Structure 1
Amino acid sequence: MKDFFKYVLATVVGMAAISIIGLLLLFMTIGILVSTTEKKVSVQDNSMLVIDLERQIVDRAPNDPFQDLDIPGFPQQKTIGLDNITESLSKAIHDDRIKGIYLKLSAVNGGMASVEEIRNALIAFKDSCDKPVYAYGDSYDQKSYYLATVADQVILHPLGTVDFRGLGGELMFYTKALEKLGVEMQIVRHGKFKAAVEPFMLEKMSEENREQRLVYMGSLWNHMLNGISGERSIPVEQLNTLADEVQTFKQGNKAVESGLVDAAKYKDEVLDDLREITGIAKKKGVPIISATSYAGVPVKGAEKSFSRNKIAVIYASGDIGMSMGSGAAIIGDEVGKEIRKVRQDSSYKAIVFRVNSPGGSVFDSEVIWREVKLAAEEKTVVVSFGDVAASGGYYISCAADQIVAQPNTITGSIGIFGMIPNMGELLNKKLGITTDVVKTNKNSDLLSTTRPMTAYERDLMQETIESGYDLFISHVAEGRGMTKEQVDEIGQGRVWSGENAKEIGLVDEFGGLQDAINLAAEIEGLENYRTVSLPEQLDPFQQLLKTGSDNVRARFLKNELGEKYKYYEYLKKTSSMEGIFARMPYDLNIY
């Protein structure tokens, strides 16, 4: 028996030692791979700057060299930073080595406001130099086509199509399914437009929800049409006719005939065009450099001199108060701490708060709002909206001095809701599971999910929601110089486009992040300044180890599920929801 335990102990120790050695070897291997990728990037003469938007567009490029490494067992979801794209385009204006921009646009994995920001940066590029912008797509969806139209040449594969048919959206309603399962969703809300709960209480859209969707979708579509019309010289009426006829299945030459694209070409012909632009001899490879790589390259004439005056650019992306391992999230204490540090540092002259969020926890939103308000009392605070800044995303922004958004940003949704499921029938009648309770006080089992809410509980919940909504509109009224009645009239959970929001006073100016930075500098009278992006990013190894096994599992799932990963993420978020939420009714994707 003594020998048995000795051998068992030796085996355990041996396995532990092998695991530690294996982990060390893994880190050494990764370190070697990372060091090979950190070599200085060189730009060849006669190069094309390539912007490939099949990668997921994020506001800020991650400090994650692993995403470009094909390490067995560590698949990566590749991203591209909006900051890298705009910085690269700004530098390329002054760089004689860059002969033009090549847009790879078979797909655009980002939101409409991000597309607008890139499109505006490309227009600025064209206005500042005589270098061409060349767009090619195997096919174009409506979002990628909108971006492509800014190019000097829009090229399509002969068998490719332009998916041009207008905007539409479909909602799924679960009321009857829940009835069959024996689940009742007990809903408390303020705001007739707060449609997040409608799938659980109705069988079709309410008239209010239908109205708000038609208004903001019409705004987005008209803005897109005007942009396309301006670049392609096709009247808006004709574009609407083409959309009504549906261009989705009309290949290459048909798209040329309609004027949507300039030519239908195979890839070898596209390469010949790029050789002509760069002056490269036939059959030779065209030198290219990606926006991600080029963003870190110093370019003479594009570098700003050092300044002691700093503008903080604080990024807040994701759902508020819901951390999902590797996913983007806005945690109240963490973001609040960053704002507080900048407020207390005299070297920072202004704050630009970049918000890209559909909302989330009211508590975390309040924590951030308080810090923004305190900061705005001491420094200039300008908020820059990304693709979406709605509900809690607007809550954390409304105390700023100025709000800058794109016309196709999704915002508003000023409202609050709560949902308590009653699964008593499912458990008792469907599954045969019964429950019992012991309590010391009358309401000790408050908000149980195995029975209906009592009248007292419902009144208590409604009072909490009403109080939260009153606080929300009070913050907006104070920050925007409006009365509570005015905010309530445009609130009620209603979603607006950035264009609509400017008309009703929720937004001050149109523009992207750089426009917000320029505005902050102008308000402060700064001619020389530098920007500092916050929070500080983790180094590569910290990035890898962040949240441990959860992060690794998420990487695998993202690789396996691709676009469908978002549905898994929705389920995880829903199961983790606690407390009262101020969140946009749905996530909006345009194709």
Structure 2
Amino acid sequence: MKQFFKFVLASMLGVFIMGIIVVLILAAVIAGVVSSAGSEKSTDVEPNSIMHMAFTTPITERTPNNPLAGLSFLGLNSEKSIGLNDILANIKKAKKDGNIKGIFLDESYMSSGQATTEEIRNALIDFKKSKKFVIAYSEVYTQGFYYLATAADKVYINPKGIFEFTGFSSQTTFLKGALDKLGIEAQIIKVGTFKSAVEPLVLTKMSDPNRLQVTSYLGSLYDHFLTGISKSRGINKDSLFNYANEGSVQFPEDALRLKLVDGLKYKDEILDDLKTRTGTPLKSNLASVELGDYTKSKSDNVKDDDDDASSNRIAIVYANGEITGGDGDDNSIGSERISRAIRKVRLDNKVKAVVLRVNSPGGSSLASDVIWREVALTKKVKPIIVSMGDYAASGGYYISCAADSIFAEPNTITGSIGIFAILPNMQKLFNDKLGVTFDGVKTGKYADLGDISRPLSPEERAILQNNVNHGYDDFTKAVAAGRGKTQEYINSIGQGRVWTGAQAIKIGLVDRLGNINDAVASAAKKAKLKNYNLVAYPEQKSIFNQIDGDLTSQMRTKMMQSELGDNYRVYMQIKGITQIMRTPQARLPYDIVIK
């Protein structure tokens, strides 16, 4: 027995020491990576280069502050991604760079919202004003990537490739049948005829009002999509509609015949074409720079008249993701973190104006109000302009409405002015399915209000409905005050209804159609600034916080995606339900999935 304990203790000590060694090695590796990242050299751009653009990872609002990007660790790849901020900045810089002769838009899967794609597309159109070329090529054209590609001078597809051109569709997953089988009742308290976020829990198909609004905004998005292609390709919009409606594009040859593309070419032929355009001998390597690497370029050939040493600043505050209480992170809007950032720039005398970049489907109504308060206070002392991304709806619109001016893209999803709350009644699940019962005592009639083991009483439901009504009243008052409208008018266009940016400008929810650069220019004009520097808030997370969060999250996500496959989206929707069954919500319908 004595020998046994000696063996166990020795083994435990060995494991402990080995653990310390592994931690120390890992810390050294991380420190080395961080150190090398901090001293990273600038990217050299050769003469007669092309900028290679290929979007293979989701496009975020800001490039992640991640020195480990591109590295593999424990079988997990930390993918190198670039944010919209650097994409737009790099295209603008390349326009003035004498070493960059053109842009090669390579096969991509546009994992981005339509407004994000719109901003990149418009930047490419502006790039062409320099008389430099843009060439697009792909083996597979999704509708999103094709829309982006139509900004190019020439659009090519692989002779055996796939060309998707079928129109838009939007689908919702309804969970009521599953909840019924489980014995769970979703008790809904809401305001807004069109507030359809709750429908998947209580219906098995779309309500008539929801079908009306989805038909309306999907039609608006599709009309803008066809209009953009029509203008770029010189094809009548009605013809484009018929091509999609009749399934006219089956093969690449069809796309060429209908002038949707300019040619059928293999990749080697595209590369030879690019060499010819840049004056590169066909037997030599094509000089190119990756879009992400170009961020670090310091080319002497960049003619930039925008740089200055001004002490005046315009702050861009990025509010990205669902709105929650607490700090949140770079992909979620924590009311503490964002309100603190707005407060900081409001009190900073060097900051003369603020651009609030909102890309959010909404979330907690309370958290939204906390952020709205800081926007309203900022407006009293300095200009604050909102730039809307893919989404700025419900709570995302709430935090926007107090600004001096609101910019949106035509295909931004916005509006959805409404409030709802969900409380599950799991009595049948507990009693009938699991055989679990509950009993207890309470000191007041409403002491256990919110208990999920039983249904709401009529009095309890009235209390919750009153709270939701009160939240909606606050919401519509805030919008009315911010937009200079009556509360009655806001209620008439509210009711939870979703609008596109193109629709919203007509009803007064948006002031101008434009991108983040337009919003910055407007802020500068309002602050009477000619020279200024841009500063971004809130501060991005440190590398050590990212390691803990990103790798753990990536491991969990990969495992779930591997197990669930196509059902992963349904899992995420169910997960979202459990997260919102806490406080009143001002958010979009669950998933606006447009294919």
Q: Counterparts of 1:532-547 in structure 2 under 5 Å? A: 532-545=535-548, 547=549
- Contact kept? 1:336, 1:368, Cα under 8 Å: yes
| 1:131 is the counterpart of 2:149 | no
2:411 is matched with: 408
For residues 24-53 of structure 1, give each alpha carbon's deviation from its aligned partner in whole angstroms, at most 9, with x where no partner exists: 211222343455562332112221111111
Q: Separation in 1 of the partners of 2:465 and 2:521?
A: 43
**Segment of structure 1 superposing worse, 309-318 or 76-85:** 76-85
Matched, 1:332 2:335: yes
Work out whether residues 326 and 337 of structure 2, in 8 Å CA contact, stay in contact via their aligned partners in 1.
no
Match of residue 26 from structure 2:
26
Asked if structure 2 preserves the Cα contact closer than 8 Å seen for 1:81 and 1:292, the reply is no
Aligned to 2:592: 588
SS in 1 for 2:102: strand
- Conservation of the 8 A alpha-carbon contact between 2:364 and 2:584: yes
Instruction: Show the counterpart of 1:556.
Output: 555
Q: Contact between 1:161 and 1:247, CA under 8 Å: does it hold in 2? A: no
Contact 1:416–1:493 (CA under 8 A) maintained in structure 2: yes
Q: Which moved more, 1:517-526 or 1:37-46?
A: 37-46
1:170 equivalent in structure 2: 171
Is 1:109 aligned with 2:111? yes
Question: Alpha-carbon deviation of 1:105?
Answer: 3.5
**Aligned-pair distance for 1:291?**
1.6
Structure 2 residue aligned with 1:160: 161
**Structure 2 matches for 1:290-305, cutoff 5 A?**
290-299=290-299, 300-302=302-304, 304-305=307-308
What is the aligned partner in structure 1 of residue 466 from structure 2?
463
> What RMSD in Å do the two structures reach over aligned CA positions?
2.1
1:46 equivalent in structure 2 = 48
Q: Deviations over 1:80-116 (max 9, x none)?
A: 2111111111111111111100112442110100000
Instruction: Using the TM superposition, give the Cα deviation of residue 10 of structure 1 relative to its aligned residue in structure 2, in angstroms.
Output: 5.2
Partners of 1:463 and 1:265 lie apart in 2 by: 64
Aligned to 1:84: 86
Map of 1:528 onto structure 2 = 531
- CA–CA separation in structure 2 for the residues paired with 1:559 and 1:446: 39
Query: Matched residue of 1:269: which SS?
Result: helix
Measure how far apart 1:437 and its partner are. Answer: 2.4
Residue deviations 1:391-438 (CA, integer Å, cap 9, x gap):
000011111000000000000000000111111112212222222222
Moved more, 559-568 or 517-526: 559-568
Which whole-Å CA distance do the structure 2 matches of 1:33 and 1:568 have between them? 35
Mean alpha-carbon deviation: is it higher for 103-112 or for 433-442? 433-442
Length-normalised TM-score, structure 2: 0.94
AA at the equivalent of 2:87: I
Contact 1:404–1:512 (8 Å) recurs in 2: yes
User: Match for residue 118 of structure 1?
Assistant: 120
- Is 2:502 the partner of 1:503? no
Q: Structure 1 unaligned segments of length 5 or more: list them.
A: none
8 Å contact from structure 2 (residues 387, 406) kept in 1:
yes
Q: Secondary structure at the match of 2:73?
A: coil
Q: CA deviation at 1:313?
A: 0.4
The whole-number CA distance in structure 2 between the counterparts of 1:367 and 1:195 is: 24
Deviation at 1:180?
Answer: 2.8
Is 1:512 the equivalent of 2:527? no
- 1:443 and 2:440 are equivalent in the alignment: no
Question: Is residue 355–residue 393 contact of structure 1 (8 Å, CA) maintained in 2?
Answer: yes
> Partner amino acid for 1:141?
T
* Counterpart in the other structure of 1:256: 256
Judge which range, 31-40 or 83-92, deviates more.
Answer: 31-40
Q: How many residues align?
A: 585
Q: Which amino acid counterpart does residue 291 of structure 1 have in structure 2?
A: L
Q: Is the 8 A contact 2:172 2:593 kept in 1?
A: no
Which sections of structure 2, spanning at least 5 residues, go unmatched? none
**Percent identity of the aligned residues?**
45
Cα deviation 1:2-25 (Å, max 9, x = unaligned): 887676555444433322221121
Whether the 8 Å CA contact 1:100–1:131 is kept in 2: the answer is: yes
By how many angstroms is 1:439 displaced? 1.7
Residues of 1 paired with 2:370 and 2:178: CA distance? 38
State the secondary structure of the residue aligned to 2:164.
Answer: coil
CA distance in 1, matches of 2:396, 2:114: 17
Does the CA-based 8 Å contact 1:322-1:576 persist in structure 2? Answer: no
Indicate conservation of the 8 Å contact 1:77/1:555, yes or no.
Answer: no
Amino acid at match of 1:373: A
Alignment partner of 1:500: what SS? helix
User: What is the rounded CA distance, in whole Å, between the counterparts of 1:31 and 1:48 in structure 2?
Assistant: 34
SS at match of 1:154: strand
User: CA 1:240 to 1:411, structure 2 compared with 1: closer, same or farther past 3 Å?
Assistant: same
Alignment partner of 1:351 is 2:350? no
Amino acid at match of 2:238: E
> Which residue is equivalent to 1:363?
366
Matches within 5 A, 1:46-85: 46-85=48-87
For 1:72 and 1:179, locate their aligned partners in 2 and report how far apart those are by CA, in whole Å.
Answer: 42
TM-score, length of structure 1 as denominator length: 0.94
Partner of 1:372: 375
SS of 1:196's equivalent in the other structure is: helix
Q: How much has 1:288 moved relative to structure 2?
A: 1.7
Pair 1:204 & 2:205 matched: yes
Aligned match for 2:457, one of 454, 458, 471:
454
Distance in structure 2 (CA, Å) of the matches to 1:306 and 1:11: 62
